[in-house]
Amino acid sequence: MVTEMFGLPGAVAVVTGAGRGIGAASAIALAEAGADVVISARTAEQLAEVAGKIEALGRRAVVVAADLSDVDAVAALAHTAAERFGRLDVVVNNVGGTLPNTFLTTTPDFLEDAFHFNVTTAHALTGAAVPLMLEGGGGSVVNIASVMGRLAGRGFLAYGTAKAALTHYTRLAATDLAPRIRVNAIDVGSVHTSALDVVARDEKIRTSMEQATPLRRLGHPDEVAAAVLFLASRASGYTTGSVLRVDGGIGAPNLDFNLPDL
């Protein structure tokens, strides 16, 4: 049956930024499909809550509280999966993000930090995971990118540049790692997570964002998690190097910081 292709029985996954939002929803979705999951983020308390939900589904969870801007720490997650569960099949590079900034206050260091947190960390974990995936016959890497990697809006210079790099990294890595390891990305739009809550709590701003989105609403983390599951599973077995849009249909930024002309 086609629905069986979405299952991940006996698989092992690593999900970064898994304490809340898209990362937490993705880890739980993979567990629902049958995977054991290594989850990592900064906050142990948040991870413990997610682990409890995974274990309630009858799957195993390993919690690693760490600063994932540290490339050694993020790469070590792959080895933790192999040591604790004996294999590694799926990597979800979800950790990332960068605060909005004006052009003149986007220093070279700020730009480099954005690239490091969104691209270098993904490469560190993927690079550590590849040999382990090959031992098991192959695997799937899912990178969480953003619509701002393809849209232009003021205030998003560092973030958008980093996410654009991540999407093209996805295409290049997919070419390098085919045919045994698939690499895909998700262009995420405005999803109502705690990271967006600072603006979504403002009814005027939220309504403006919703009206600027063809589907007239913000997304839900579970909707991104469903796409993660598709790309992680055999359901997408003939898909690699792709960037899947989960963005409500937007063709222009739906959040305006009202930055003035210089």
- Inter-residue contact 91 to 25 (CB < 8 Å): no
User: Is 80 exceeded by the pLDDT of residue 194?
Assistant: no
Q: What is the pLDDT of residue 1?
A: 80
User: Is 90 exceeded by the pLDDT of residue 225?
Assistant: yes
Q: b/e per residue, 34-53, with b = 16+ CB within 10 A?
A: bbbbbbbbeeeebbeebbee
CATH 3.40.50.720 fits 2-245, yes or no: yes
Considering only 13-17, 95-99, 106-110, 233-237, which range has the smallest mean pLDDT?
A: 95-99
Retrieve residue 67's tokens: 């600063």
User: Is 80 exceeded by the pLDDT of residue 195?
Assistant: no
Q: What is the pLDDT of residue 200?
A: 79
User: What is the rounded average pLDDT of the residues 68-89?
Assistant: 98
193: three-class secondary structure by DSSP: coil
User: Is 80 exceeded by the pLDDT of residue 197?
Assistant: no
* C-alpha torsion angle, residues 170, 173, 174, 180 (rounded to 10): -140
Q: What is the pLDDT of residue 193?
A: 85
How far is Cα 125 from Cα 17, in angstroms, rounded to an integer?
A: 13
Q: What are the structural domain ranges in the chain?
A: 2-245
List Cβ neighbours of 190 (8 Å cut-off, separation of 6 or more): 196, 209, 213, 218, 219, 247, 248, 250, 254, 255
Residue that is written with structure tokens 């016959």 in the block: 137
Q: What is the pLDDT of residue 30?
A: 98
- Inter-residue contact 167 to 173 (CB < 8 Å): no
Q: 121-135 and 157-177 are packed helices; what angle lies between their axes, rounded to 10 degrees? A: 20
How far is Cα 146 from Cα 160, in angstroms, rounded to an integer?
A: 8
List Cβ neighbours of 205 (8 Å cut-off, separation of 6 or more): 199, 255
Write out pLDDT tens, residues 173-193. Answer: 999 999 999 999 999 999 988
Mean model confidence pLDDT for the chain: 96
List Cβ neighbours of 253 (8 Å cut-off, separation of 6 or more): 147, 148, 151, 152, 153, 156
Retrieve residue 113's tokens: 């930090």
- Return the active site residues: 159
Q: pTM for the whole thing?
A: 0.96
Q: Which of 259, 153, 255, 260 is nearest to 199 (CA)?
A: 255
CB atoms within 10 A of CB 211: 11
Determine whether 97 is exposed, middle or buried from the number of CB atoms within 10 Å of its CB (0-12, 13-18, 19+).
middle
How far is Cα 115 from Cα 61, in angstroms, rounded to an integer?
A: 29
Q: What is the pLDDT of residue 11?
A: 98
